[in-house]
Structure 1
Amino acid sequence: MKTFLNILYWFLIAVALIQFIPVDRTNKPVDPKVDFVKVFKTPQHITSVLRKACYDCHSNETVYPDYAYVAPISWSIKNHINEGREHLNFSEWGTYNKELKKGMLENSAADLKQNRMPLAGYVAQHPEARLTDAEKKRLVNYFEEILKSGNY
């Protein structure tokens, strides 16, 4: 029993100490001239779906939940956000070259069709991000329309 209490004591000390390791949760300012929804003058019904299911990980408008301030959970969340922004950042859409934009639109449509996005772990913590089949179809159609136009 003494060994267990000793382990528990040191574990709690370690958990307390790691809270002092900083995680940068600062969002870069959003330039409306390069933001996806502004560039395409995206209709409100599409914008609302993008914001509820995509923008937390794929934009510079992340809203961090309370649990994102507790290490080591905060490290994992920040890592997921960084990875999401690397694959697609709607806030920086206008800075990408045409080939990259095309690939991002194709990948986004494919991910939605194959239920890879939004991530199940994200939806579990944010039930409002769960997309209906109709919402997925709306997004896929919107991305495919942009692709067909060639004006991305």
Structure 2
Amino acid sequence: MVRKILFAIVAVLIIIQFIKPDKNIHAGEQVNNIKTQYKMLDTVNSILNVACYDCHSNNTRYPWYNNIQPTAWWLNDHVIEGKEHFNFDEFTTYSLKRQDHKLEELIESQEEGWMPLSSYTFIHKDANLNGSQKKMVIDWAKGLRQQIQSNPEFAASPAK
């Protein structure tokens, strides 16, 4: 009986290796990326690329363990959820008020330390931001919020 159960478990684990989610990889230029409309320092861009873009852009750098199921499903759900909250590659499609709100959340996430997630920084040590890196991101986001809020169209912009 135990042998049959173990065989069934192994068979299921082998079969699920062939059921893979689509990868979050979009080749080519991202025309709606935040950098197409707003200035970003190279240092801030580097920080965001390392610490944020895997879950908050249209291009994820996948680790080797993404080829093992059900880990890939979990990572895929995580990326989809991250992009729903904030997607740097779709930022210019947001209304001005939504852009402002997303930057406010970005600032809050750095000030309170809840991003990047500890489950991400556990594996990606380079995504663990130090105080000066967080300050650079916060200062950039605050400056960008001021720029967005000073846009004459901001007041009439829809919230979503």
TM-score norm. by structure 2 comes to 0.87
State the Cα distance separating 1:27 from its structure 2 match.
2.0
Corresponding letter in the other structure for 1:14: V
Is contact 2:31-2:89 (8 Å) kept? no
State the Cα distance separating 1:26 from its structure 2 match.
4.2
Corresponding letter in the other structure for 1:55: Y
Is contact 1:36-1:92 (8 Å) kept? yes
RMSD value over aligned CA atoms?
Answer: 1.6
Aligned residue among 40, 60, 63 for 1:62: 60
Any unmatched runs of 5+ in structure 1? none
Residues 15-61 of structure 1 deviation map (CA, whole Å, 9 limit, x = unaligned): 00111212100423454442113322311111000000000000012
Pair 1:36-2:31 in alignment: no
SS of the aligned residue for 1:125 comes to: coil
State the Cα distance separating 1:139 from its structure 2 match.
0.5
Any unmatched runs of 5+ in structure 2? 155-160
Percent identical: 31
* Aligned counterparts of 1:120 and 1:26: Cα–Cα separation in 2: 21
Q: 1:31 to 1:95 in 2, by over 3 A?
A: farther
Aligned residue among 55, 62, 76 for 2:74: 76
Which residue does the alignment assign to 2:142?
144
Corresponding letter in the other structure for 1:12: V
Is contact 2:20-2:72 (8 Å) kept? no
Which residue does the alignment assign to 2:51?
53
Aligned residues: 150
Deviates more, 1:139-148 or 1:23-32: 23-32
* Aligned counterparts of 1:15 and 1:32: Cα–Cα separation in 2: 37
Which residue does the alignment assign to 2:158?
none
* Aligned counterparts of 1:70 and 1:52: Cα–Cα separation in 2: 23
* Aligned counterparts of 1:88 and 1:68: Cα–Cα separation in 2: 22
Residues 95-147 of structure 1 deviation map (CA, whole Å, 9 limit, x = unaligned): 11111111100011101111110000011111111101111111011101111
Aligned residue among 115, 129, 145 for 1:131: 129
* Aligned counterparts of 1:19 and 1:57: Cα–Cα separation in 2: 23
Pick the structure with more helix per residue.
Answer: 1
